[in-house]
Amino acid sequence: MLKQILRFFVPVLLLVALIGVAGCKKKQKPLPPAETAPPPTAPAPTAQLTATPSSITAGDQVVLSWRTTDATSVSIEGIGDVPTSGVKNVTPSASTSYHLVARGDGGTADATARVTVNQPPAVQVPTKTMSIEEEWRTNVQDIFFDYDSADVRPDAQSTLSRDAAFFNSHPDVKVVIGGYCDERGSNEYNLQLGQTRAEAARNALINAGVPASRLRVISYGKEKPFCTESTEECWQQNRRAGFSIDR
């Protein structure tokens, strides 16, 4: 009977003892959660921009050079998007500041290059001074007469007015008025007719304000023809009062 009781209680006592020993052990605290490392920070972009040369004359070229780091996009004001590094030729017509902006995950960076454009000096065109002979050929015209007449025609009146204006603008120049005739008629008759034609032109110039002291008349008759054909067109060329500089 005793053996049976011991068989029952001994295991129970051992179990209680084990539980007591286990209860005496110090409880361990739970481990704190592992800390998560922050993500790496993206580096900030850098930018460099140069203009060579920085001062030019209008029409010349400039070389823009740029270099960036850690940039995903780059633009230059007035040019647009460009590679992250590069070279470009530009020809500014006026002084210009080129502004570069580089953008990346780490922010933005910018750089500026200034180009001064100088305007070329004005070209001085030498003024050509016309000689009195050149001015004479440009501005002075002869007048023409009808056959066997010394009357100043209406078309000759306007020519004489322009001639007088030129003579008056050159007061130091004296004028020879030559009277001419066509080949028809005698030498004596044509010399007299030429004289009358020259004097008619002289009187018209005096009436237009040219001093008489600057005007000299001479008759060449038919001795110095401008045209030698025996046609009305040619004869008309020879019936004139011609003007030349009195040397």
Kindly tell me if the per-residue pLDDT of 35 is higher than 60: yes
Element (H, E) at 90: strand 85-90
Kindly tell me if the per-residue pLDDT of 19 is higher than 70: no
| pLDDT on residue 13 | 57
Average pLDDT of the segment spanning 61-67: 93
Backbone angles phi, psi at 102, to 5 degrees: -110, 130
pLDDT, one tens digit per residue, over 104-114 is 999 999 999 99
| pLDDT on residue 233 | 93
Of 58-62, 123-127, 175-179, where does the model show the most confidence?
175-179
- The answer to whether residues 100 and 111 touch, using CB atoms and an 8 Å cutoff, is yes
The identity of residue 29, as a single letter, is: K
At 21 the three-state DSSP class reads helix
- What domains are defined for the chain? 46-118 (2.60.40.10), 132-245 (3.30.1330.60)
Kindly tell me if the per-residue pLDDT of 42 is higher than 70: yes
| pLDDT on residue 127 | 66
What six digits make up the tokens of 76? 């230059």
Q: Identify the sign of the CA torsion 241, 243, 246, 247.
A: negative
Statement: the pTM of the whole predicted model exceeds 0.75: no
